[in-house]
Amino acid sequence: AGDLADEVVFVTGAGSGFGAAIARKYAGRGARVVAAGRRASPLEALAGACGGAVLPLQLDLRDRAAVFEAFESLPEAFRAVSILVNNAGLGVDRGKAQDSALDDVETMIATNISGLLYCVHAALPGMLGRGRGHIVNIGSIAGRANGPGSTVYGATKAFVLQYSKNLKSDLIGTGVRCSYIAPGAAETEFWSVRWKDDEERARAAYTGYKPLQPEDVAEAVFFATSMPAHVDVTELELMPHQQGFGARIFARD
Ligand code: NDP
Ligand code: 8X3
Q: What is the pLDDT of residue 2?
A: 63
Report whether 36 contacts 14 (CB < 8 A).
yes
Q: What is the pLDDT of residue 247?
A: 65
Counting atoms of ligand 1 from 1, which one is nearest the CA of 217? 30
Q: How remote is the CA of residue 74 from the centroid of ligand 2, in Å? A: 33
Tally the C-alpha atoms within 13 A of residue 91's C-alpha that lie toward its C-beta.
28
Residues with CB under 6 A from ligand 2: 91, 140-142, 147, 150, 184-185, 247-248
Task: Give the CA angle between residues 209, 141, 112 to the nearest 5°.
Answer: 120
- Identity of the residue numbered 62: R
Q: What is the pLDDT of residue 146?
A: 78
Whole-angstrom CA distances from 188 to 183, 202, 250 are: 12, 10, 18
Q: What is the pLDDT of residue 128?
A: 98
Q: Which ranges constitute the DSSP H helices of 38-150?
A: 40-50, 64-72, 76-79, 102-108, 116-130
Percent of the chain with pLDDT over 70: 98
Q: How remote is the CA of residue 184 from the centroid of ligand 2, in Å? A: 5
Rounded to the nearest 10°, the torsion over CA 23, 56, 8, 134 is 60
Q: In 3-state terms, what secondary structure has residue 111?
A: helix
Domain ranges of the chain: 8-238
- Identity of the residue numbered 13: G
Domain at 8-238, CATH class: alpha beta
CA atoms of 171 and 104, how far apart (whole Å):
33
Q: What is the DSSP string of 186-199?
A: B-SSHHHHHTTT-H
Each residue of 152-178: b (16+ CB within 10 Å) or e? bbbbbbbbbbebbeebbeebeeeebbb
As annotated, the active-site residues are 153
Residue nearest to atom 10 of ligand 1 (CA): 13
Residue nearest to atom 4 of ligand 2 (CA): 185
Enter the pTM of the model: 0.97
Counting atoms of ligand 1 from 1, which one is nearest the CA of 19? 25
Tell me if ipTM is over 0.90: yes
Q: How remote is the CA of residue 18 from the centroid of ligand 2, in Å? A: 13
Q: What is the pLDDT of residue 245?
A: 82
Instruction: Give every residue of the chain whose pLDDT is below 70, as ranges.
Output: 1-2, 247
